[in-house]
Amino acid sequence: MADADKNTLFIPGLAGKLEALAENFDDAPKGVLVVCHPHPLHGGTMQNKVVHTLARAGHELGLATLRFNYRGVGKSEGGYDEGDGETDDLLAVIDWLDDRFPAIPLWLAGFSFGAYVAMRASNQRPVQQLITVAPAVNLVRFEGLKTPDCAWLLLQGKEDEIVPYQEVIDWVGKLTTPPETVYFDGVSHFFHGQLVNLRQTLIDKLSAKTGAL
C-alpha cells in the first residue's frame, strides 16, 4: 500500500482532478503506457485485475505506466459521462504527460469499455501502439469509429460472457484496416485463471517494438 500511495497523483481534468497511479517513471523508460479501466457503472476502476496485468506487462516491456480513474471513480472528481467525458479524461492525462515528457513514445491500452475510450483517443493524439482487450463492441458505440492510424493489437477471449466473441469477430470483419488479433480458447471476459497467459502474450507480441525504442 505504501508504494501505491507514493505513486498516486492527481491530474487536472475538465470535470476536476483525476486520481492516477504512475509507475516506473524513474527507470529511464522506453515509453509510457496509459491503461484505461472498464465501465465505471459496473465496478470498473484502475485497480481492475486485467488493467493491473496490462500495466505489469508494460513494465516488463520497459515502459512506464499510468493508470487513472475516470471522473466519478475513486477519488476522481465529476460524474459518469457515457464515454464522452471519459475520453476527455484520457486526453487530459495524455496532455499532462506530454507537457512533462514531450519526447516519450505513447502507448494506449484499454479493457472492455476502456478499449472504447482508448480507441477514441488514439485518433486525437499521436499514439505509437494501441492495445484493446475484450473491446465492448456490443455495449458502446464502436460502430463508425475511425480506425487508428497506429499499430493496433486486439485480444479477446472466446468464452467471453459479457462481450461475445462472435460480435467482436463480426466487428473486426467490417473494418477497413483491422488490428492484429489474438483469440484465446476457453477464456472469459475477466481472464479468470488466464492473467499470466494474457501478460505473456502481450510481452511476446510487443517486445520487438519496445526493443526498437
Read off the pLDDT of residues 6-40 as tens digits, 9 standing for 90 and up: 689 999 999 999 999 999 998 778 999 999 999 99
Look at the domain 2-206 and name its fold: Rossmann fold (3.40.50)
What pLDDT score was predicted for residue 108?
Answer: 98
Can you read off the three cell numbers belonging to residue 137?
A: 463492441
Q: Tell me the pLDDT band of 5, cut-offs 50, 70 and 90.
A: low
Read off the pLDDT of residues 110-143 as tens digits, 9 standing for 90 and up: 999 999 999 999 999 999 999 999 999 999 999 8
Helix axes 84-100, 113-122, angle to 10 degrees: 60
Q: Where are the domains of the chain?
A: 2-206
What pLDDT score was predicted for residue 212?
Answer: 62
Alpha-carbon distance 131 to 54, whole Å?
A: 9
Segment 46-72 shows an average pLDDT of: 97
Segment 75-87 shows an average pLDDT of: 97
